[in-house]
Amino acid sequence: MSTDAAFVPDDSFTATSHKGLTYPFGGAEPASGETMRIAEGLEWVRLRIPGPLKHVNCWLIADRDARGDGVALVDTGMNTTDARDAWKTLANGAMAGVRVTRMIGTHMHPDHIGLAGWMCAHHDAPLVMTRGEWLTARMLVADARDAVPEEMVAFWRGAGWNDEQVDAASARGWAGFRRIVTPLPLSFTRLQDGDTLRIGRGDWRIVTGSGHSPEHACLLDETRGVFIAGDQVLPRISPNVSLGVTEPDADPLGEWLASIAKLRNLPADLLVLPGHGDPFTGLHTRLDAMDREHRERLDALEIFLAEPRRAIDCFGRLFRRAIGQDMLGMATGEALAHLRRLEVEGRARRDATDGVWWWRAA
């Protein structure tokens, strides 16, 4: 893999622009079961996933280890039949005879590491992640059980859920994470912020962020100007930032805003390879837009809290569409993250009545 020059898009693609971002590959994308070349030694795989995001991006970086040539795989898709079939098609086609040298997970969400254990076992490859992401994933797998814990039910009711909503969520049990993640290895190789990974002939610096997940790892090839961003920067949507039952007094939105400020220190002209959506340039423009969106939401929410509100009462001020049962959990977590940020900033206060939380502007 050559690293002699910065990334330059292939002349066969027609770049497009939208809201200050440039998409150097236009609307081109890899078909299911195929790869698409981004640069020498760097390939793009796109896999279908259920839900509104529809797909997840994975990346293959030319690599070499003691056993010979192969590829480092960044993210895997969810443990679904579609994703496994797509990888099997690749193994019999574009990746025939290609070995995965290491399995790098950007973060612990199932659409990114759902097949990490499967890949590690098949290729006898090490799992490479940050400690915060690996431990959280292991905890969620180990904590799987039939019945939803009473603490979770109390959390839902605190946010304002009614009996029907609680019953519908409880019917799904408490093992959803384990069902869509193959068993992870018992050991892993730790990534830390500032580490440099030598992958093939290139160096990739680890840049971590938080808020969307505990210790999200991004990979930066400073020589070629390529940034594998995972879900830390997406081109058209803001990643979900949720407050959860595990750490109910945390401030994930504060961590997210701090991560945006941190990423502004990176060069503005990087080619960003996101976990969802298409590769783009215009990193600072996108960071500014995400920061502005969340701060505008906070301002609107503070005005809305002139009267006491529950988390579920705030959906109309935070989201552009109606929230059904399928998105209720994520929407609740996001609303709570915004309310908690207002609380931390001294702009709102919370009271509890009969187990239900009510926020009011301070």
Residue 321: the pLDDT is: 87
Residue 8: the pLDDT is: 64
- Neighbour count for residue 97 (Cβ, 10 Å): 7
Residue 5: the pLDDT is: 47
Q: Are 289 and 339 in contact (CB under 8 A)?
A: no
Interstrand relation of 68-74 and 100-104 (parallel, antiparallel or unpaired): parallel
Residue 320: the pLDDT is: 87
Residue 153: the pLDDT is: 98
- Residue-wise pLDDT for 119-162, tens only, equals 999 999 999 999 999 999 999 999 999 999 999 999 999 999 99
Which one-letter DSSP state was computed for residue 54?
-
Residue 1: the pLDDT is: 34
CB within 8 A of 202, min separation 6: which ones? 1, 3, 41, 61, 221, 223, 224
Nearest CA to 359 among 316, 294, 296, 301?
301
Residue 9: the pLDDT is: 66
Q: Residue 347 burial (CB < 10 Å; 0-12/13-18/19+)?
A: middle
Task: Give the CA distances from residue 140 to residues 110, 144, 239, 325, 360, in Å, rounded to whole numbers and listed in that order.
Answer: 11, 7, 20, 22, 33
List of the chain residues with pLDDT < 70: 1-11
Residue 189: the pLDDT is: 98
Q: Considering the chain, what percentage of its residues have pLDDT values greater than 90? A: 94
Residue 2: the pLDDT is: 35
